[in-house]
Amino acid sequence: MIKRKYFGTDGVRGLANAFPMTPDIALKLGAAAGRHFRKDQKQHRVVIGKDTRRSSYMFENALTAGFTSTGMDVYLLGPVPTPAVGVLTRSMRADVGVMISASHNSYLDNGIKFFGPEGFKLSDKVELEIEKLLDDEIEYAASQNIGMAKRIDDALGRYMEFAKSAFPRKKLLNGLKVVVDCANGAAYKAAPIVLWELGAEVISIGVNPDGYNINKDCGSTHPQNAAKAVLEHNADVGICLDGDADRLILIDNKGNIADGDQLMGLIASQWSSKGNLANNTLVATVMSNMGLERYLNTLDIKLLRTNVGDRYVVEAMRKFGYNLGGEQSGHIVMTDYATTGDGLMAALQFLNALVESKCTSSELIKVFEPMPQLLRNVRLNNSESLDNLKVKESIKAGEDAFGDIGRILIRKSGTEPLLRVMGECEDPKLLKAVIGNIVETVDAIN
The set of catalytic residues is 103
Give me the pLDDT at residue 40, please: 72
Q: Which fold has domain 167-370?
A: Alpha-D-Glucose-1,6-Bisphosphate; Chain A, domain 3 (3.40.120)
Same CATH fold assignment for domains 12-153 and 167-370:
yes
Give me the pLDDT at residue 1, please: 46
What is the CATH number assigned to the segment(s) 373-445? 3.30.310.50
Give me the pLDDT at residue 43, please: 80
Give me the pLDDT at residue 2, please: 54
What is the CATH number assigned to the segment(s) 12-153? 3.40.120.10
Give me the pLDDT at residue 273, please: 96
Give me the pLDDT at residue 199, please: 97
Give me the pLDDT at residue 422, please: 95
Q: What are the mean pLDDT values of the chain's consecutive 10-residue runs (446 residues total)? A: 76 95 97 89 90 98 97 97 97 97 96 96 93 89 94 96 92 96 98 98 98 97 97 98 97 97 97 97 96 97 94 95 96 95 97 95 96 91 77 93 94 78 96 95 84
Mapped to the 3 state alphabet, what secondary structure does the chain carry? Answer: CCCCCCCECCEEEEECCECCECHHHHHHHHHHHHHHHCCCCCCCEEEEEECCCCHHHHHHHHHHHHHHHCCCEEEEEEECCHHHHHHHHHHCCCCEEEEECCCCCCCCEEEEEEECCCCCECCHHHHHHHHHHHCCCCCCCCHHHCCCEEECCCHHHHHHHHHHCCCCCCCCCCCCEEEEECCCCCCCCHHHHHHHHCCCEEEEECCCCCCCCCCCCCCCCCCHHHHHHHHHCCCCEEEEECCCCCCEEEECCCCCEECHHHHHHHHHHHHHHCCCCHHHEEEEECCCCHHHHHHHHHCCCEEEEECCCHHHHHHHHHHHCCCEEECCCCCEEECCCCCCCCHHHHHHHHHHHHHHHCCCHHHHHCCCCCCCEEEEEEECCCCCHHHCHHHHHHHHHHHHHHHHHEEEEEEECCCCCEEEEEEEECCHHHHHHHHHHHHHHHHHHC
Give me the pLDDT at residue 106, please: 96
Give me the pLDDT at residue 383, please: 65
**Sequence ranges of the domains in the chain:** 12-153, 167-370, 373-445
